Amino acid sequence: MKKAKRNSLEARGWRVGSVAEFLVLSAEDAALVETKLALSGALRARREAKKLTQQQLAKLLKSSQSRVAKMEAGDPSVSVDLLLKGLFALGANPREVGRALHHAA
Amino acid sequence: MKKAKRNSLEARGWRVGSVAEFLVLSAEDAALVETKLALSGALRARREAKKLTQQQLAKLLKSSQSRVAKMEAGDPSVSVDLLLKGLFALGANPREVGRALHHAA
DNA sequence: AGAATATATGTCATATTTGACATAGTGTCA
DNA sequence: TGACACTATGTCAAATATGACATATATTCT
């Protein structure tokens, strides 16, 4: 995974810029991004499994549809905390989150 | 786990107050707290395994000793993002974090 | 004991994240 | 086609997290 990953990140708003700049995206940052993407994927999967709209999940979270969209898009403005709150609100537990992280990426 | 857990949380600065108030700590909130505690535990374990002081880890993270102390104490002012940054800076990867969550709590 | 080193706690200005809103895009059905 | 439901994207004031600092409390030496 190299150029494909970079494009995927850029598409999601990480604004990495040149390849050179991408290379300074440290391993730590990459791990954090990977983690966030795994969680946003799990969030969308769970929401869809429950046949909820983003609007409905937003209400559950006392948030807004636009923020839920950003959560699922892995937007950089979304914290891991918020993603976890979303997953837990959908009935996940820490063990399941652990499994999701362990398998993903 | 009931009163013991409440005391443990209060001791860590979650200021839960009365038992009645504790009961309104929803399952979602509890799951998030559990997650944070699992991560702070893992952080301390990794730091100590590497024989680093909080000061040294702070430098690595471009943060401060006091914040590292709060990270390891599971202080409510610390985000999951910051805990993950700490773990990744210590060489953990998302899979290992997943394992830690899956086993803990 | 006391000095040295490590960790904990409280506070605060600054930085980042948040919900909310507007609006644009996408898919579906008549 | 157009109306409808859902999702995506941009912006911003308010809320929350952050690093830094001072200082308190352990812990570990001699």
Q: Closest nt to A85 (CA→C1')?
A: C18
What is residue A26's predicted lDDT score, i.e. its pLDDT?
84
> Can you give the residue range of the structural domain that contains B34?
26-103
The mean pLDDT of A6-28, rounded to a whole number, is 57
Count of structural domains, chain A: 1
Q: Which residue from B minimizes the CA distance to A103?
A: B95
Q: Closest to A94 (Cβ–Cβ): which among B84, B89, B105? A: B105
- What would the two tokens of residue B47 be? 């730091």
Give the angle B42-B43-B45 at the CA atoms, nearest 5°: 65
Whether the predicted pLDDT of A20 surpasses 50: no
**Is A5 domain-assigned?**
no
**Is B9 domain-assigned?**
no
Report the C-alpha gap between A82 and A93 in whole angstroms. Answer: 14
Q: Distances from the Cα of A81 to the Cαs of A42, A55, A92, B16, B70, in angstroms?
A: 14, 20, 14, 20, 17
**Is A3 domain-assigned?**
no
**Is B11 domain-assigned?**
no
CATH code at position B42: 1.10.260.40
Q: Which residue from B minimizes the CA distance to A89?
A: B28
A13 φ/ψ sector (left φ>0, alpha ψ -120 to 50, else beta): left
Q: Pick the more confident residue, A90 or A105.
A: A90
Q: Closest nt to B85 (CA→C1')?
A: D18
With cut-offs at 50, 70 and 90, classify the pLDDT of residue A80: very high
**Is B7 domain-assigned?**
no
**Is B1 domain-assigned?**
no
With cut-offs at 50, 70 and 90, classify the pLDDT of residue B7: low
Task: Tell me if chain A has a CB within 8 Å of the CB of B62.
Answer: no
**Is A19 domain-assigned?**
no
**Is B71 domain-assigned?**
yes
Residues of B in contact with A84 (CB under 8 A): 31-32, 35, 80
